[in-house]
């Protein structure tokens, strides 16, 4: 079974600064996907970024980028130029190929301070 | 992007009654839908996987007779909480996989269930 660990229950960052959220996972699979989801107070799950395990290049989406270390089974999210709207719960998730559900980490609550 | 809707967005019911929650993929066909449960300040826990035209697969510890799942079409899955009790109060979220688009899942906005 896969496990996803987020060791930072809460984090705080000043507006315009950079913050990194950590995520580690454990799996015996070779092909898989990793995701970061954002859950704002509305509780709608919003996909922030995804990474295919077979790709060596780290994914980037505007201010969001990941540091994917496959051998270390680490998948951290870096948010640059933090904005007040980034305040939310962030979940790291693991997904296997095929009709499989996602396995979520426990989440990191990020507060962006003005 | 693909849109998944849930109805109702919130519901309050009396203990012992049944509640049905609908999950619809609005602009794509979903062969597989997933139902998650989320307690306050906690993560999403998978309850069951719903495949169109077949019986749902429940996770260990989830009572299939209490949480009835039906996936009768490629755009609709329903979760019925039967004989609800206060401990069933939670936030229920569905997600759907677009069979034409890789492994990405699209999430519904969730349903808050409160059982009095």
**Higher-pLDDT residue of B71, B10:** B10
**Mean pLDDT, range B54-69, rounded to an integer:** 93
Bond from prior residue into B8 cis (ω within 30 degrees of 0)? yes
pLDDT (tens digit, 9 = 90+) per residue, A2-48?
A: 899 999 999 999 999 999 999 999 999 888 999 999 999 999 999 99
Residues in chain A: 114
Q: How far is A102 from chain B (nearest CA, A)?
A: 8
Beta bridge partners of A89: A39, A109
**Distant-in-sequence, close-in-space partners of A95: CB < 8 Å, separation ≥ 6:** A32, A33, A34, A35, A101, A102, A103, B103, B105
In the numeric block, which tokens belong to residue B91? Answer: 């936030």
Cβ pair B103:A101 closer than 8 A: no
Residue B95 has φ and ψ, to the nearest 5°, of: -140, 160
pLDDT of residue B103: 66
pLDDT of residue B52: 83
Q: How far is B34 from chain A (nearest CA, A)?
A: 7
pLDDT of residue A96: 85
pLDDT (tens digit, 9 = 90+) per residue, A61-92?
A: 999 999 999 999 999 999 999 999 999 999 99
Cβ pair B42:A44 closer than 8 A: no
């Amino acid at each position: 079974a896969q496990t996803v660990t987020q060791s930072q229950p809460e984090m705080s960052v000043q507006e315009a600064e950079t913050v990194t959220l950590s995520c580690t996972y454990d799996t015996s699979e070779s092909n898989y996907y990793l995701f970061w989801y954002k859950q704002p107070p509305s509780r709608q799950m919003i996909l922030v970024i995804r990474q295919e395990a077979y790709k060596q290049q780290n994914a980037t989406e505007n201010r969001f980028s990941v540091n994917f270390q496959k051998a270390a089974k680490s998948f951290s999210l870096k948010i640059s130029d933090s904005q007040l709207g980034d305040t939310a719960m962030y979940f790291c998730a693991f997904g296997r190929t095929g009709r499989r559900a996602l396995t979520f980490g426990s989440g990191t609550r990020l507060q962006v301070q003005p | 992007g693909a849109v998944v809707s849930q109805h109702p967005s919130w519901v309050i019911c009396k203990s012992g009654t049944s509640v049905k929650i609908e999950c619809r993929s609005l602009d794509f066909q979903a062969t597989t839908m997933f139902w998650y449960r989320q307690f306050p300040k906690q993560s999403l826990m998978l309850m069951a996987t719903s495949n169109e035209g077949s019986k749902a697969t429940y996770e260990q510890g989830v009572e299939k007779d209490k949480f009835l799942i039906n996936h009768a079409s490629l755009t609709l899955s329903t979760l019925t909480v039967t004989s609800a009790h206060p401990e069933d109060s939670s936030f229920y979220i569905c997600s759907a996989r677009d069979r034409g688009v890789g492994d990405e899942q699209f999430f519904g906005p969730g349903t808050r269930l409160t059982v009095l």
